[in-house]
Structure 1
Amino acid sequence: MPPSTRLSREEVVHRIRLLVTRRQLLPGERIGTERALAQAFGVSRFELRAALEQLESTHEIVRRIGRNGGVIVSDGRFECNLNTLESLAHMAKRQGCELTCALMRAAVTSANEADMRILQLPTGRTTVYAVRRLRLLDGEPLSVETSRLPAYMFPGFLDCDLEAAFYTQFERRYSVRAQSVDEALDCASAPHEVCEALGIGDHARVVRVRRITYDGAGHPCERSMDLYNPTRIRFTSRASGAARAMAHVRSAESAAV
């Protein structure tokens, strides 16, 4: 394309938006690579990046590196996978974001009835650690996480770095490896402290995820509750290879009937 007819930044922005609309691309889907888009629009990579920066500033796209990277459609929400041991920090890194953690409070306390039942605490071992942390995505509040851990499994845990990943410390310091997790998702009204930490209105509705983590022997090693700002999160659940294979078998069986 001759220099006199090169697209302006605003025109490139418009064409990218049009491309998303025409192809009906959803959040998380790839628009293309920078190289391919620059060639398609007849502009330099430098000129394309100016348009992409504008679209990033309005949370319409994100740029990711790696084999599956490129220019990705975004709605500004963090995508979180359910029922996985992958940490939020790793999920954030894959999405080109940074997740940090700030300790709100930590204490040793007597187990309540739910702790006794869910953590399957042995007789005489009725003490738990209660830890509350604020999760921040690119410096902005994302969620408040409250964890309750059996003290007998993790002696001296409150002396650890409580802003670091728990599962890593379980394994390195206590040889307890998180092996599986059960999660349940619903909505709830957040208490004042949580609303204040997340920067949302008092008693606002939040997304609540309750989680139980099990070690290699199938014993509960953590119960926790995460309260998410609903405007910043989107949850996904992907079937494993075995589950997908079973679905294909069931589909074939149904077709044969």
Structure 2
Amino acid sequence: MQQSPKYELIANELRKRITTGKYQPNELIPDQVALAEEFGVSRMTIKKAIDGLAMEGLLYTRRGDGTYVMGDISLKIEQNSPAEEHLGLTASFEEGRVTSKIIQFDIRFPSESLQKHLKLEKNEPIFEILRLRLLDGRPYVLEHTYMPQKLMPGLDEAVLMNSIYAYLKNTVNLKLSGAYRRIHALFADELDVKYLECKEGDPVLEVEQVSWLDDGTPFEYSFSRNKYDARSYNVLDIG
């Protein structure tokens, strides 16, 4: 299996230092030169790791002064997710906490709407996937996902039980780049009531997403639905 990029490994270590209190709120962390020397990497790699943690709301940089831990990281409860995150759900939690239940896994031809979102012709088949993701055994998010078959012909139920994104990166060797998200609130539908332990009429947070590769090719169009009290998304804006 392909190892995670160095900047991700470094970001994981820095994140651990923040959440365990080794780096305290409002504390100035070591500069990029010192961190580059500690981890044996370039400053560019350190910058990429720090930029990622800044997008999560854990760090911020003052020009000419350095990089600090955010003053109040209590808002970063584990149910929150950065709106910019595109590493997949499993990568957001410790190993073994996220599991999957496959509700639907089919191959079909795309509708006109899916052709547009995934830049496909009408005769190019897609995977249609409906999964319930559980966190510590409890319903967490209901994911309805469409993916082009041509990009991942080996996708099967064994993959769906784990992380699709890890499979795409480490097995298929696709280079995932970014995502566009539209986040809005709706009322619970029949599937939400059945799988997310919602009551009829409960608010549900839906995230509509298109994700693409580094060459601009869309590889996913999805809808993720959370019960109103299960998860939130955050955006950090620092002037």
TM-score (norm 2): 0.64
2:198 aligned partner: 200
- 8 Å contact kept, 2:108–2:127: yes
- How far apart, CA to CA, are the structure 2 residues paired with 1:144 and 1:102? 10
**RMSD of aligned residue pairs (Cα, Å):** 3.1
Moved over 3 A (4+): 30-33, 72-77
| 1:124/1:97 CA distance change after superposition, 3 Å | closer
- Whole-angstrom distance in 2 between the partners of 1:75 and 1:218: 31
CA distance, structure 2, for counterparts of residue 122 and residue 32 of structure 1: 50
Q: How do 1:205-224 and structure 2 match up within 5 A?
A: 205-224=203-222
Higher relative contact order (CA 8 A, sep 6+): 2
- CA distance in structure 1 between the partners assigned to 2:148 and 2:170 by the alignment: 17
Which digits, 9 at most, give the CA deviation of each residue in 1:152-189, with x for residues without a partner? 22213235421211112112332322111111100112
Give 1:130 shift: 0.5
1:214-235 per-position Cα deviation (integer Å, ceiling 9, x unaligned): 0110110111110001111121
- Structure 1, unpaired ranges of 5+: 1-29, 34-67, 248-257
Does 2:237 correspond to 1:232? no
Q: Count residues with an aligned counterpart.
A: 175
- Cα pair distance change 1:203/1:151, threshold 3 Å: farther
| SS of the residue 1:201 aligns to | coil
TM-score (norm 1): 0.60
Deviation at 1:196, TM superposition (A): 1.2
Deviations 1:53-96 (A, max 9, x none): xxxxxxxxxxxxxxx8xxx8579761111122233223233xx9
Q: Equivalent residue for 1:63?
A: none
| Larger Rg over CA atoms | 1
Match of 2:128 among 127, 130, 143: 130
Matched position secondary structure for 1:194: helix
Distance 1:200 1:75 in 2: 24
Residues 154/90 of structure 1: CA separation in 2 closer, same or farther (3 Å cut) = closer
Say whether 1:82 aligns with 2:83: yes
Partner of 2:151: 153
Q: Assess if the C-alpha contact under 8 Å between 1:196 and 1:202 holds in 2.
A: no
